[in-house]
Amino acid sequence: MKKILICLLIIFSSFMVLTGIGVSAKQLSVNGKTTSAVVDKGIVDAVVADTTEVQTRLKKWGYYTGAIDGINGPKTIAAVKAFQKKYGLTADGIVGPLTAAKMGINLSTSSSSSNYNSNDRYLLAKVIYAEARGESYTGQVAIGAVVLNRVKDSRFPNTIAGVIYQPWAFTAVNDGQINLEPNQTAYQAADDALNGWDPTYGCVYYYNPATATSKWIWSTTKVTQIGKHVFAV
């Protein structure tokens, strides 16, 4: 009977773990952002430190040696702990307000409304990373430029979010790769595109001729090819 009970207990625990019930909510890593709760004078705000920003700064100061990929993995946590030790902070690996302040990072609260442009930059970096992370840097800038060219074109939605999330416009949105956290290269490519770089000179379409299945792409006019992507109008 004891054995049976133990068996049942093990099966039940495994089920709970598999279905994600009962996960500790002390620290969550969502989309590359380390989230922690801060209680200050009775006001609770979700405070978010951008992992990419944390990694960039820690790498610059020599605490972090890994890739700037936006993932709050063991290397990043170890680097944060090392930084915290150096500055006499509690070495818990979490970038809370004190650590962020020491790093010179402004923590944005969830109620912030003045980040219109940083949303554009973030969305653009996401689509660039999801669609072209294997391409050359110019190829990545070109993807960002196509999105921005669509925003300016009357045939497409008038916002970056509208263009990116238009149904069936981008494969990466359909298959969920858009939710991957962009790396530093994608952010810089987004910055270039937002600053006017457009290696395609006005293209609003691109496709990979080796994998493209839609018939309409053959009715477009090819302008250039960068890496695997053909850019067209």
Q: Which residues bind another protein (CB under 8 A)?
A: 3-4, 7-8, 11-12, 15, 18-19, 56, 59-60, 68, 106, 114-118, 136-138, 141, 152-158, 162, 165-168, 184-185, 188-189, 191-192, 195-203, 214, 216, 222-225, 233
Q: What is the b/e burial string over 27-64, where b = at least 16 CB atoms within 10 angstroms of the residue's CB?
A: eebeebbbbbeeeeeeeeeebbbbbbbbbbbbbeeebb
Decide whether 90 or 179 has the Cβ nearer to another protein.
179
The distance of closest approach from Cβ of residue 152 to another protein in the complex, given in angstroms and rounded to an integer, is 6
Decide whether 94 or 226 has the Cβ nearer to another protein.
226
Decide whether 211 or 219 has the Cβ nearer to another protein.
219
Decide whether 74 or 162 has the Cβ nearer to another protein.
162
Q: How far is CA 145 from CA 41, 51, 152, 169, 231, in A?
A: 45, 25, 11, 15, 11
Decide whether 123 or 141 has the Cβ nearer to another protein.
141
Element counts in the chain: helices (H) and strands (E):
9, 7
The distance of closest approach from Cβ of residue 54 to another protein in the complex, given in angstroms and rounded to an integer, is 12
Closest CA to 206 of 158, 154, 167, 149: 149
The distance of closest approach from Cβ of residue 21 to another protein in the complex, given in angstroms and rounded to an integer, is 10
28-30 and 33-40 as β-strands: parallel, antiparallel, unpaired? antiparallel
The distance of closest approach from Cβ of residue 78 to another protein in the complex, given in angstroms and rounded to an integer, is 19
The distance of closest approach from Cβ of residue 90 to another protein in the complex, given in angstroms and rounded to an integer, is 26
Q: How far is CA 199 from CA 73, 205, 212, 226, in A?
A: 35, 13, 22, 9
Decide whether 92 or 191 has the Cβ nearer to another protein.
191
Closest CA to 220 of 201, 205, 199, 209: 205
Assess contact for 183 and 68: CB atoms under 8 A: yes
The distance of closest approach from Cβ of residue 82 to another protein in the complex, given in angstroms and rounded to an integer, is 18
108-109 and 43-50 as β-strands: parallel, antiparallel, unpaired? antiparallel
